Amino acid sequence: MPERFLGDLQQTLDREIPLCRLMGMRVHALNEAGLTLSMPLEGNHNHQRTAFAGSLNALCTITGWGRLYCLVRQHGVGSDSVVVRRSSIRYVKPVESPLVLATCLPVGAKEQAYFLEMLQEKGMAKLDLEVRIPGEDGPAVVFSGSYVAAP
C-alpha cells in the first residue's frame, strides 16, 4: 500500500469532514495488523471522563471507511462514493487511554478479490469490515461496518 494513500486520506479527513478535524483524528499506521487511526481522549471524553461513545463510533466508522478509501484508490478506482450503509458496535469496556487507537482488521484475500471483481463488473460492491479498539485484556470496543463503493 503506497504511503501516499495514507497522506491523501489524512488530507481528505481534514479538508472534507470537519468533525474529524475537531476530534483530532489522525491516520496512524498501516501494517500487517491493519489500518490504524487515532484520536486524543482529551476533547473526546464523556461525563465520566472516559471516551464518549459518539467519538468512539465516529473513529471506528472512519477507520473502516479509510480502509476502503485506500483499497479502491490502490486499484485505480475513485473513492468519492464510498459510504457506510450499516454498522453495529459493542462498548465492552470504558476507554481511558490518552491516545485512542482503532484498527481495521485486514481484509481477507478472497473477500478483497470478490469485492474488486463486483466493483468492476457491476459498478457497485459491498465490503464488511471489522474495527477494534484495544483494552487492557481484549478489545474495549468491537465494531462491524458494511460499506458500499459505487464509483
Residues that bind its own copies (CB under 8 A): 12, 16-20, 22-23, 43-48, 52-55, 57-59, 61-62, 65, 80-81, 83-91
Nearer to its own copies, 40 or 106 (CB): 40
| CA–CA dist 48, 149 (Å, integer) | 37
φ/ψ of 10, rounded to 5, equals: -60, -45
Nearer to its own copies, 72 or 113 (CB): 72
Nearer to its own copies, 36 or 44 (CB): 44
Nearer to its own copies, 77 or 109 (CB): 77
Backbone φ/ψ region at 76: left (φ over 0), alpha (ψ -120 to 50), beta:
left
User: Between the CA atoms of 74, 56, 127 and 75, what dihedral angle is there, to the nearest 10 degrees?
Assistant: 0
The nearest distance, CB 139 to its own copies, in angstroms, is 13
Nearer to its own copies, 29 or 89 (CB): 89
The nearest distance, CB 113 to its own copies, in angstroms, is 26
In 75-103, which positions are buried (b, 16+ CB within 10 angstroms) versus exposed (e)?
eebebeebebeebebebebebebeebbbb
The nearest distance, CB 47 to its own copies, in angstroms, is 4
The nearest distance, CB 12 to its own copies, in angstroms, is 6
The nearest distance, CB 106 to its own copies, in angstroms, is 22
Which three cell numbers, joined as nine digits, stand for 12?
481528505
